[in-house]
Structure 1
């Protein structure tokens, strides 16, 4: 009997005008889900359109990757909005990429917030509800941190009838409370191949992860996030993709 397939997702389309970021063309063949920036932390209409075309070429699911309006800080700075204001900002971004998908006879499949917004919604239920409220308009799932499931979040998602996709990171360290270690902490980003593959295998084979502070916490993921912004990471993504396909074929 085969295992449940764990998909591979990656943040894509984060170039902006003449400024190029990432290696989307090299990464796209190896992933299952593309989180495409919507213009508020990176990207622009032309980049969004090109990235959608690339995803369609490789039969990759298209997700919206909205953020706080923070191009200068790449969406990594927390910002304060009233819940309805935040929902409106998200509806604006998600609606843009949904319209571009439909212009190409394709569909938006899910939403994954970016950066500080993603982190903030893990710890603040008001922000989580504002995000869910916006996503509910599009009748697609919301991707969120697997280690941060709690009864109140699940109740909010059920109330708005929004399915959740649970995500794990293999190149980011975790804290004992299940949150990602802030990038300001030494060791928060895993850079060595062996460390990344070890965390991948621990999550996939044992549904747990060893935290930066030495604890072991449970983590059951539907999808794994990878980052592909240099040649070494692209080779690693190929290995990760092969590993996951091997698990799903058992």
Structure 2
């Protein structure tokens, strides 16, 4: 379980406890971007008390994508066969993790989805839902990926899947990092499965969503889509990584 953190001092202890209760065998890596509110120190204290909790201290805030990439490398270097993305704020419910892991037995990548039948959101304003639904629809159509929730961040990967995604080429730092990995998985021929989740708006702390993150996502997705269509017109096919 990779949990990136930046100023999540109020949330890190509860989310770690819920993960440990939901999947007792799971190991947790807190990837902290040098949080000024002391999140890293709290994570160190949790790690000292529990050998299933580990901490990766990073130099500073470099974005969600960079934190996950560092976490993936740490996990693969330490021999983990399954790596899971999860937010620290409780929006991704640890109690639903067993469903993702069960689905992974027949898949290469499992996405916790808000926009498939059975999925739902709790306590979101309509404006936020519009942005999220619109972003997934725009990405799905422009990139031609058969995924309903392209932007979601509750995901379970097999190690072999991550090894086949060309992670060294991933440059997106914000939330479009999720779109990037999804499109790479589809292009590489991996079996991607979506399972419904209930996404709950955070109760404590501040959201990391910003205008800059949305702008980055828009221009990167547009560039990927235009590039993909240009390659089709020119008869170029993306190389399979498997």
- TM-score scaled by length of structure 1: 0.31
- TM-score scaled by length of structure 2: 0.32
